[in-house]
Structure 1
Amino acid sequence: MNEAPNLTAGDRLPGDPSKAQLIDRIIRVDHAGEYGAKRIYEGQLAMLKGKPEAAVVRRMYEQELEHLKEFERLMVERRARPSALYPIWHVAGFALGAATALLGPKAAMACTVAVEEVIDEHYRAQGEQLGTDEQPLQATIEKFRAEEEHHRDTGLAHGAEQAAGYPVLSAAIKAGSRLAIWLAERV
């Protein structure tokens, strides 16, 4: 989302979203992302039952539920449209979480690291786009960005980089995450 940094009427270029469109897009994509994260962790938890890493994943999952609840509130408050691809996020998120957890706990952590690195970039870019009159939304995004960064650090501390095929797995998950963000912003 690099179309309109610090959007004001004078800074907009043809084709840039209006401020209302930008806010709608931000809330829609962040809601979709938090829902996708919820589903990733649900897939991982389903496959990690009885493993020590399940407790670590559960803590991150509970934080994602708080993020999702806030974006659900913002969707109503700001009358933002949800992503029409919601059913895809439901299935794809769970499948990604389950598949990586089936590869082992370190692969599940590699998934977390890859997703959170993309989300960190994404939230940073959004923070730069929001104008000064959007401080509450900007503060929410920054708070969640810091929490997602902590999830990344947790994944690294639990052996993400030791997962078999880590560079390839990470690159594939990052590419998928970036595509999901692009789609959720628009659809």
Structure 2
Amino acid sequence: MSKDTRRLSILDKLISQSDQVLRTLSRHAHQPSRSSPGNKAKEEILSEPEQRHAAGLMRVNHTGEVCAQALYQGQGLTAKLPNVREEMEQAAQEEVDHLAWCEERLEQLNSRPSLLNPVWYGLSFSIGALAGVVGDKWSLGFVAATENQVCKHLSGHLQSLPAQDAKSRAIVEQMLVDEAIHEEKALAAGGFDFPKPVKLFMTSASKFMTKTAYHI
């Protein structure tokens, strides 16, 4: 009986995970709990190059949120302590807002998400699951380091976005606030503060992803 219960539990997890994968990679599959910050901003006319650039940056941000979903889902599947699993699930839910906001803004800019999102999802999920297996301290530390990288990208995007693109700017500003909180929570929960060489390696890897997602 106990074996059947365990098997059912594993099956339930697989079904739930499959549903999460499809929702993350499908358009219009997520309903945000908060309305987009961009809704309060006035839509200004952008030149064609400005619109393309803004769309490229928001596509990068969208891909980053796809990776965040995969990372948290992978960690939540393998994390050992219940409170850590709950922390991962809560963070993933908060990232759903970002995912929906970026997707909505991309449509407003007459653009689309990255075609390579399934690849980035698979890689991020694998990394997240591996981090969870290694240990919760390392798993939370990886979250903190990842969010730190995201904050750097978002800060750079605020400098690079067209000045009159108030809608994209409002979205990125709120995302930056949320991601910084996620980093703080991960470290406060006992996450390992990765050494500088590891963070530099993560920076190099993230640059490859962002440059690719900007164009494809």
Please report how far the alpha carbon of residue 169 of structure 1 lies from its aligned counterpart in structure 2 after TM superposition.
Answer: 4.7
What is the rounded CA distance, in whole Å, between the counterparts of 1:133 and 1:55 in structure 2?
39
**Percent same amino acid at aligned positions?**
23
What is aligned with 1:52? 83
Task: Give the partner amino acid of 2:158.
Answer: G
Q: Give CA deviations for 1:65-120 in whole Å, capped at 9, x if unaligned.
A: 11101112122222213212112112011111111111111111111111111111
Aligned to 1:19: 50
Quote the residue 2:34 is aligned against.
none
* Distance change (3 Å), C-alpha of 1:175 and 1:132: closer
Say whether 1:180 aligns with 2:209.
Answer: yes
Aligned to 1:106: 137
- Structure 2 alignment gaps of length 5 or more: 1-45
Superposition map of 1:66-105 within 5 A: 66-105=97-136
Displacement of 1:176 in angstroms is 2.3
SS at match of 2:165: helix
Aligned to 2:159: 128
1:150 equivalenced with 2:181 (yes/no): yes
Contact (CA 8 Å) 1:109, 1:156: kept in 2 or not? yes
* CA 175–100 in structure 1, closer or farther in 2 if over 3 Å, else same: farther
Instruction: Tell me by how many angstroms 1:146 deviates.
Output: 0.7
Give the alignment's Cα RMSD to 1 decimal. Answer: 2.0
Distance in 2 (alpha carbons) for counterparts of 1:118 and 1:180: 12
Task: Give SS of 2:164's match.
Answer: helix
Map Cα deviations across residues 137-162 of structure 1 (whole Å, 9 max, x no partner): 10110100110001111111122226
Give the distance between the partners of 2:131 and 2:175, measured in 1 at CA. Answer: 24
What TM-score results when the alignment is normalised by the length of structure 2? 0.72
- Give distance in 1, aligned partners of 2:86 and 2:94: 13
What SS does the corresponding residue of 2:82 show, helix, strand or coil?
A: coil
**TM-score normalized with structure 1 length:** 0.82
Q: Do 1:118 and 1:178's aligned partners in 2 also have CA atoms closer than 8 Å?
A: no
Is residue 2:61 matched to residue 1:30? Answer: yes
Please report how far the alpha carbon of residue 54 of structure 1 lies from its aligned counterpart in structure 2 after TM superposition.
Answer: 1.1
Equivalenced residues, count = 170
Partner of 1:13: none
Distance 2:97 2:116 in 1: 21
Larger Rg: 2
Find the counterpart in structure 2 of residue 139 from structure 1. Answer: 170
- Matched with 1:3 is none
The answer to which of 48-57 and 107-116 deviates more is 48-57
Q: What is the CA distance between 1:185 and its match in structure 2?
A: 1.4
Q: In structure 2, what is the equivalent of residue 5 of structure 1?
A: none
User: Contact 1:44–1:97 (CA<8 Å) still a contact in 2?
Assistant: yes
- Letter paired with 1:175: S
Whole-angstrom CA distance in 2 between matches of 1:137 and 1:60: 22
| C-alpha deviation, 1:130, in angstroms | 2.0
